[in-house]
Amino acid sequence: MTDKTYPPSPEFVANSHADKAKYDAMYQASMQDPDAFWGEHGKRIDWIEPYSKVKNTDFTLGQVNIKWFEDGTLNVAANCIDRHLETRGDQTAIIFEPDDPETPAQHITYNQLHDKVNRMANVLLSQGVMRGERVIIYMPMIPEAAYAMLACARIGAIHSVVFAGFSPDALANRINDCQAKVLITADEAPRGGRKTPLKSNADAALLHCSDKVRCLVVKHTGGQTTWIEDRDVDVLALMETASPDCPPRPMNAEDPLFILYTSGSTGKPKGVQHSSGGYLVYAAMTHQYTFDYHDGDVFWCTADVGWVTGHSYIIYGPLANGATTLMFEGVPTYPDASRFWQVCEKHKVNQFYTAPTAIRALMAYGNDPVTTCDLSSLKLLGTVGEPINPEAWNWYNDVVGKGKLPIVDTWWQTETGGHMLTPLPGATATKPGSATLPFFGVKPVVLDPQSGEENVDVETDGVLAIADSWPGQMRTIYGDHERFEKTYFADYKGYFFSGDGCRRDEDGYYWITGRVDDVINVSGHRMGTAEVESALVAHVDVAEAAVVGYPHDIKGQGIYAYVTLMNGVEPSDELRKDLEKWVRTEIGPIAKPDLIQWAPGLPKTRSGKIMRRILRKIAENDFDALGDTSTLADPSVVDELIENRMNKK
């Protein structure tokens, strides 16, 4: 990594929400007296019943407890919509840019958003959805996805958005895990000119769920779907006749706003549960400061609402701030590699936030797709999801930013609700590849992975943990608080453990080095290796499987699967294709292995534990750095795997 620094330009500093002095002062204040700091900043949102308590948190294993603003009441949807109506009712809240550039974009004002969300909330009530009940949202990137989320928030139901790329099985598991009452979906999800049959996926999923689950369908493309009377409901038709008036329900600050499933080191995805009050304060505040958002700006986060980035920075953060937020249904390369930049030009986007994998993919098409567009509206660029390599950073900076725009590299997680390590564009000199410094209220520590002790030297490396709570922190794993404690607080006592490795340089800047657990990051999507393994071993021909990540030019990491076949089954290209297809249907296209290597045996310790360290090295073609193999039950397995790797078997 280069250590070249890029200080903010004086013009940017002059107009920014925070220069360096202000960042330093606010950060210090947030560390010295979190109660006073957040007591003040909690007021950025509207409370029905104001809070008198601010922070009540404990990271002690066995009694982990996280509460913020616990006696306050609010409604998240009212904060994202109603409170803006008086001053900006006719301002655009959501710009919707469809997959097909020929289809006109929509500009939805705050008044219109109010109307739609109220109607959808009344539809949910008419389906018997009660406060605290779960609603699964399995939708394309269309305004109705936002209406659905906000409608849940309005009536106090808990939403769980499932990424539209997940398979029926993955969808069914999530519906069942949170015992959802209702599933909201659409007929089809157009992306890149192709259509995913969401409704028929939903039909397949619901075969494995309680027959009480209602299916609310948004007729988006008008594509043909099967229709099951008494179960399927035409949402748009009901919204037409529903009342546009649905009073927001007062919710406690700690009432859950949503659950979002994410991958961990075990086979079963975790339902990460977020709060209403603390989450909204944190999403809104990070959106304002990290992106230096000002009234009237057009903000575009290219994530999907199926991921946490879409929750915090397409919906909740921007709308709580009264922003104009852009929702894009399509993909960066459709109809061609110029699409992102055409959309920036068309809608005069001011802040643009995307993932390194998209930058790398677009870089491969050269500069013309960018330089033929007018990007003069852009004021800031951002990245999220994985470490950004210097080539991609430089291209983003030079070609997209013309060397003039600040780049904010934001490190955070589904678990953290909002940005944790990030430059503030008017305050922080950036270094390509570093997420730089903590946001207000965030106390990062670098721990020795073995002893769990804090590495106190400024320049150090180890695993990244957070020493104290912040308002956006997840509260629990849905239905399994013990697993929450075990996953995040057991390995390093007294800390929230991130699962990432990191280095801190001489200026105190943080450099994320990637996951240290069995989670891989494929195109910025989190994938548990155990999830892919359990999908593979569910295939009749597979005896055993081990999955690791390996460096991939575009995706950051690719999925490398070692597969041991059942006795008597012969490897073949056909079987390889069949296994790829199998994983796609078990989990979804994002989990398809990039490489499958036939493994007559896997390297295991005498106690039967697979030594992934060795498998990672073989996948990386790094045969000289295998380390100690003497504890293996059968060291000859390794030679065979290397030989197969070299012969590309």
ω before 444 within 30° of 0 (cis)?
Answer: no
Give the Å distances, CA to CA, from 25 to 28, 30, 32, 157: 5, 9, 11, 39
Pick the stretch among 108-116, 280-288, 342-350, 384-392 that binds ligand 6R9 (CB under 6 A). Answer: 384-392
Applying CB under 6 A, among 140, 318, 382, 387 the residue interacting with ligand 6R9 is: 387
Nearer to ligand 6R9, 66 or 235 (CB): 66
Binding status of residue 384 toward ligand 6R9 by CB under 6 A: yes
Residues 6+ apart with CB under 8 A from 417: 274, 278, 279, 282, 283, 308, 312, 471, 472, 473, 474
Please state, in angstroms and rounded to a whole number, the distance separating the CA atoms of residues 632 and 613: 12
Please state, in angstroms and rounded to a whole number, the distance separating the CA atoms of residues 307 and 323: 20
Please state, in angstroms and rounded to a whole number, the distance separating the CA atoms of residues 434 and 566: 46
Tokens 């965030």, residue located: 442
Give me the least distance between CB of 498 and ligand 6R9, in Å please. Answer: 6
Applying CB under 6 A, among 317, 499, 528, 558 the residue interacting with ligand 6R9 is: 499
Give me the least distance between CB of 564 and ligand 6R9, in Å please. Answer: 29
Helix (H) or strand (E) holding 394: helix 390-395
The residues in 406-425 that bind ligand 6R9, with binding defined as CB under 6 A, are: 409-414
Binding status of residue 462 toward ligand 6R9 by CB under 6 A: no
Pick the stretch among 16-24, 381-389, 445-453, 606-614 that binds ligand 6R9 (CB under 6 A). Answer: 381-389
Helices 34-41 + 277-290 axis angle, to 10: 80
Instruction: Tell me whether residue 287 is annotated as binding.
Output: no
Pick the stretch among 142-150, 293-301, 498-506, 561-569 that binds ligand 6R9 (CB under 6 A). Answer: 498-506
Applying CB under 6 A, among 385, 401, 423, 528 the residue interacting with ligand 6R9 is: 385
Nearer to ligand 6R9, 266 or 377 (CB): 266
Instruction: Tell me whether residue 412 is annotated as binding.
Output: yes
DSSP assignments along 433-477, one per residue = T--BSBPTT--EEEE-TTT--B--SSSEEEEEEESS--TTS--EE
Tokens 């070249």, residue located: 4
| Contact indicator for 522, 506 with CB cutoff of 8 Å | no
| Contact indicator for 413, 383 with CB cutoff of 8 Å | no
Site string for ligand 6R9, 520-539 (x = CB under 6 A): -x----x-------------
Nearer to ligand 6R9, 308 or 375 (CB): 308
Instruction: Tell me whether residue 542 is annotated as binding.
Output: yes
Applying CB under 6 A, among 173, 201, 262, 357 the residue interacting with ligand 6R9 is: 262
DSSP assignments along 581-615, one per residue = HHHHHHT-GGG--SEEEE-SS--BBTTS-B-HHHH
Q: Which residue is nearest to ligand 6R9 (CB)?
A: 414
Nearer to ligand 6R9, 465 or 545 (CB): 465
The residues in 543-582 that bind ligand 6R9, with binding defined as CB under 6 A, are: none
Give me the least distance between CB of 497 and ligand 6R9, in Å please. Answer: 11
Binding status of residue 309 toward ligand 6R9 by CB under 6 A: yes
Pick the stretch among 8-16, 328-336, 378-386, 447-455 that binds ligand 6R9 (CB under 6 A). Answer: 378-386
Pick the stretch among 56-64, 234-242, 403-411, 444-452 that binds ligand 6R9 (CB under 6 A). Answer: 403-411
Instruction: Tell me whether residue 410 is annotated as binding.
Output: yes
Nearer to ligand 6R9, 38 or 163 (CB): 163
| Contact indicator for 235, 142 with CB cutoff of 8 Å | no
Q: Is the dihedral of CA 456, 457, 461, 465 positive or negative?
A: positive
Neighbours of 507 (CB within 10 A): 14
Please state, in angstroms and rounded to a whole number, the distance separating the CA atoms of residues 645 and 560: 11
Binding status of residue 269 toward ligand 6R9 by CB under 6 A: no
Please state, in angstroms and rounded to a whole number, the distance separating the CA atoms of residues 572 and 510: 46
Please state, in angstroms and rounded to a whole number, the distance separating the CA atoms of residues 72 and 79: 14
Give me the least distance between CB of 302 and ligand 6R9, in Å please. Answer: 13
Q: Is the dihedral of CA 236, 237, 240, 243 positive or negative?
A: negative
Nearer to ligand 6R9, 137 or 308 (CB): 308
Instruction: Tell me whether residue 192 is annotated as binding.
Output: yes
Give me the least distance between CB of 275 and ligand 6R9, in Å please. Answer: 17
Give me the least distance between CB of 505 and ligand 6R9, in Å please. Answer: 15
The number of angstroms, rounded, from the C-alpha of 583 to the middle of its chain's C-alpha atoms is 21
Mark the binding-site residues for ATP, compressed into ranges: 385-387, 409-414, 500, 515, 526
Mark the binding-site residues for CoA, compressed into ranges: 191-194, 309, 523, 584
- List contacts with ligand 6R9 (CB under 6 A): 262, 307-309, 384-387, 409-414, 435, 498-500, 512, 515, 521, 526
